[in-house]
């Protein structure tokens, strides 16, 4: 089994959305971008996935320019193509067209020497849902503290 090394996570996705399904996708990167990714200079905070023309693209993912790179470093927030099966893309397109669903990137990691992006099918949370999630998280934390002190 290949080891997975976590690069970045999108914590705001778990706060703003109910995560329903997760998919693993490869991502097309340029050489200097891979070097920046290896240094962990990735921000997934505001990124999301769109499907155009039978292909999936991730938008607003920020990969900082490689410091030792040349003058021709790519744009940090350019759209990047995701590598998914046609069957998966068609399934996701059908679900995204359903009201309230969106595709968000939840984490980026190395699988062996390959860079992978975890894409999640998500449904937006209302304000009261966010409050309820926070209360449940606090209650769980209190229970853990009580069990630990025993």
Structure letter (DSSP) for residue 66: P
Domain count, the chain: 1
Q: Nearest-CA neighbor of 23 among 106, 93, 99, 102? A: 106
Q: What pTM, to 2 d.p., does this model score?
A: 0.80
Q: Are 84 and 21 in contact (CB under 8 A)?
A: no
**pLDDT of res. 134:** 85
Low-confidence ranges of the chain (pLDDT < 50): none
**pLDDT of res. 72:** 77
**pLDDT of res. 99:** 78
Structure letter (DSSP) for residue 89: H
**pLDDT of res. 58:** 93
**pLDDT of res. 1:** 55
**pLDDT of res. 56:** 93
**pLDDT of res. 55:** 93
**pLDDT of res. 26:** 94
- Structural domain of 9: 4-149
47 half-sphere exposure, CB direction, 13 A CA radius: 32
Separation of alpha carbons 124 and 101, rounded Å:
7
Q: How far is residue 37 CA from its own chain's centroid?
A: 14
**pLDDT of res. 75:** 81
- CATH code, 101: 2.40.280.10
Detail the DSSP E strand segments found in 28-129. Answer: 42-43, 48-52, 55-59, 62-63, 80-83, 101-111, 114-124
């Amino acid at each position: 089994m290949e080891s997975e090394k976590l690069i970045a996570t999108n914590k705001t996705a778990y706060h703003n959305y109910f995560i329903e399904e997760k998919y693993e996708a490869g991502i097309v990167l340029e050489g200097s971008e891979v070097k920046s990714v290896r240094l962990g200079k990735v921000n997934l905070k505001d990124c999301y996935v769109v499907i155009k023309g039978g292909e999936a693209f991730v938008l607003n993912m920020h990969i900082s320019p490689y410091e030792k790179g040349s003058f021709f470093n790519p744009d940090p927030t350019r759209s990047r193509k995701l590598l998914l099966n046609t069957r998966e893309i068609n399934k996701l397109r059908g679900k995204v067209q359903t009201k309230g669903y969106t595709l968000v990137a939840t984490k980026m990691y190395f699988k062996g020497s390959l860079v992978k992006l975890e894409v999640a099918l998500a449904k937006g949370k209302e304000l009261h849902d966010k409050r309820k999630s926070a209360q449940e998280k606090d209650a769980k934390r209190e229970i853990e503290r009580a069990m630990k002190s025993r």
